[in-house]
Homo-oligomer: A and B are copies of this chain.
Amino acid sequence: MTRVGIINVTGYAGSELARILHNHPDVDLVSVTGRSAAGKELSEVFPHLREASMTITPEIEESVDFVFSALPHAASAEKLKPFIDDGVPAIDISADFRLKDLPTYERWYKVEHPCPNHIEAAVYGLPELHRSEIRQTKLVANPGCFPTGTVLAMAPAVQAGIVEQKVISDCKSGVSGAGRSASMEYGFSELNDNMLAYALGGHRHEPEMTQELSALSSSGEVQVTFVPHLAPMTRGILGTHYTTLSKEVTQAQVNDIYRDFYADEPFARVVPAPPATKQTWGSNDCLLFPVVNESTGILVVVSALDNLVKGAAGAGVQNMNIMLGLNETAGLEALPVYP
C-alpha cells in the first residue's frame, strides 16, 4: 500500500481527494493537513468523511510515498518544494506547474513563481494527451477544471486539422468551482436561481487552453476566447465550444475522428446524445458530443464533467494511478450518482 498525504484537505478538492482515496484499493491515506482546521478531526470539518476520519495536522506528519497539494497557487509550489526536492512523487492541484512559459504564469497569476526550476520537469496531467510522460514523471500539474473540458472537447478536431485556429469556449460551472470559503458573492441567496458571466476581461484558465491546444495544432497557435459562467448548481461544468470548420467534413467523419481519438480512454467518452452534467456527478467521466452545424459551417462540441472529480480530485487520482503503475481506474469505478 502506498502511503499518501494531502496538503490542505479542507477545500473541496482536498475533501474530494480524501473521499476517493478512502476507498482506493492500493493506497492508504495517512496524513492530511489544514491551516485553521489543524487539530480538528476531518469528520468535524466534513461530517460525510466520518468513516475516513483522522486528525488534521499543520504539516504532513507521517512519512509519505506520495503527496497531493490542494493549496492555492504559489502557496502550493512552496509547500511542495521540499517533497519534490526529496524525490517524493507529487501532484499539484493548483496552477503552479501547468504553464510552461514562466512570464505567462507570472503575468496571469501576478506572483513570482516560488520554484521555477521545477516547471520544466512537470507534466501537464491530462492523461488523454500526456499519458506516457505522466508515467515517467515525479511531478504532475493537475489541469484546471475548465481546461479539462475545453481541451478534451477541441483536441480531436485541432489535431485532425479540420478547424480554424480560433475557438470559443462558453463554460457553465457549478459554484463549488469557486472553492470553500466565506464570501457573500457565492452565498446561496445571491446565486440560487440566478446565472451570470464573469471574468469577461480574461480568466487564468485561458493560457492553459491555448498552450495545450496549440501544441496539438500543426498550424500554429490556437486562440481561445473563453467566457466562464456561474450556474446555480453545486457541481458540474458544461462547456459549449464553437469553431469554424476549415474543410468540409460530415457529421459522420467528425464522429469517427472523435471516437478514434478517445477509443481507448476509460474516462473521456463520446456520447450519442447531448450530455447533462448530472450524468457525471461524483464520477471521473468527461462526456463529449460533437455536432456539425451544416448551415453555418460551425463545429459545436459540448463537454460535461464533474469539476471536483475529472476537473480536480478524480483526475489527480487517475494521474497518481498512472505514476504508480496501478490500474488507471482504481478507486474511480463508482458510477455517477443520479438523479
Contacts and interface: CB of A to CB of B under 8 A. Distances in A.
Interface of A: 12, 15, 19, 22-23, 46-52, 166, 168, 170, 172, 174-176, 178, 180-184, 186-198, 200-202, 223-225, 227, 229, 231-236, 238, 240, 242, 269, 271, 273-283, 287, 289, 291, 293, 295-296, 298, 300, 302, 304, 333-339
Contacts of A232: 188, 192, 231-233
A281 B339 CA distance: 11
Q: For A190, A279, A293, A337, which residue has the most chain B Cβ atoms within 10 angstroms?
A: A337
B276 A335 contact: no
A191 to B, nearest CB: 4
Integer count of this chain's copies in the complex: 4
B189 A234 contact: yes
Enumerate the 10 nearest inter-chain pairs by beta-carbon distance, A residue then B residue, closest first.
A194-B278, A196-B276, A282-B337, A48-B336, A48-B338, A175-B188, A170-B170, A176-B189, A188-B191, A193-B233
A293 B23 CA distance: 39
B193 A235 contact: yes
A303 to B, nearest CB: 10
17 contacts: A12-B189, A15-B338, A23-B333, A47-B273, A47-B279, A47-B287, A48-B280, A168-B168, A170-B242, A175-B192, A186-B187, A187-B188, A188-B191, A188-B234, A192-B192, A231-B231, A337-B337
Contact of A23 (B182, B229, B335): B335
Contact of A189 (B175, B194, B334): B175
Contacts of A50: 269, 271
B184 A279 contact: no
